[in-house]
Amino acid sequence: MPDIEPRSARQAFDNRELENRPFWKMNGLGNDFVVLDARQSPLVPGERDARLIADRSRGVGCDQIIVLEPSRRADVFMRILNADGSEVDACGNATRCVGSLVMAETGAARATIETSAGLLLAEQGDEPHSVAVDMGRPRLAWHEIPLALQVADTATVPFGSSQLGVALPPVFSAVSMGNPHAVFFVEDVEAHELSRIGPILEHAPLFPQRANISLVEVLSRTHLRQKVWERGAGLTLACGTGACAAAVAAIRAGLADPRLTVSLPGGDLTIEWRADGHVVMTGAASLDYQGRLSFEPGTTSMRKAG
């Protein structure tokens, strides 16, 4: 990991616009985010700055950094940076959080959010603090996911995991929900050391853009249990696009009904793969606190000033 020590107490960031910048700390089922508002003044943290903000010992600490930017097509454009500074196109839990922010600002019951993966619609859910997001249609062709090799059926992709020293089923289901997912169905998600095998599979040659790795246990036709290794972020308490991908994979395999619950370490999401092909994800979105990015004078630790 690159050095993230600030050069001085008053010039910690490469981008000086970050110093004393307001932020929201939010989470969706424990999958947590630092949300920055760049709608009035442009701002994109570089890799080093993103790593510093996301660092849980010296920064605010988060799985991903979300930058809100103006959009001509929607209420807001959502830029997504992983904890390692890499940029990704989609994040379901962050979409719910941003949707809740925009709806609180406008007083409307819905919000449109532009991402690099397309336009998403967020609406208030039936339960308090719940948000439903239409995540669009899953991408199932090998080149859309993408995979490095052409396969006839992405629902059952052969994979020599044993050659990588990983004891998993010999096939997985590949799905893109705006980002690539590899879903392995297992008897017990706790029987595998995902913290070890996740980074191995994330960087496997079969995935030219890396991949999110999911272990999924089918509890019933309406209930899945899941753990996710997110590319660029590692183990997270929840992954919205991962839950959507798991549901799509289970339905394609004939293991689940079109509407089901996905239980992740951080809580439950309701996923519905509708007849029109769209996947709708519903779950909680929470504001933890607000603050400003700053550093304690004479230290290398960020002060989360409120």
Residues that are catalytic = 91, 239
Cα gap 155→144, rounded to integer Å: 14
Q: Is the dihedral of CA 199, 204, 208, 212 positive or negative?
A: negative
Nearest to 177 by CA among 94, 63, 254, 83: 94
Cα gap 176→137, rounded to integer Å: 9
Cα gap 80→87, rounded to integer Å: 6
69 has which bridge partners?
77
Cα 265 from chain centre: 14
Look at residue 133 and give its three-state secondary structure: strand
173 has which bridge partners?
183
Q: What are phi and psi of 186, to 5 degrees?
A: -130, 165
Under 8 Å between Cβ of 54 and 61: yes
Give the relative orientation of helices 240-252 and 92-106 as an angle to the nearest 10 degrees: 120
Query: Which residue type sits at 129?
Result: H
Under 8 Å between Cβ of 62 and 34: yes
Query: Which residue type sits at 207?
Result: F
Q: Is the dihedral of CA 256, 259, 260, 264 positive or negative?
A: positive
The answer for residues whose C-beta is within 8 angstroms of residue 52's C-beta and 6 or more apart is 4, 6, 12, 13, 58, 59, 302
H or E element in which residue 194 lies: helix 194-202
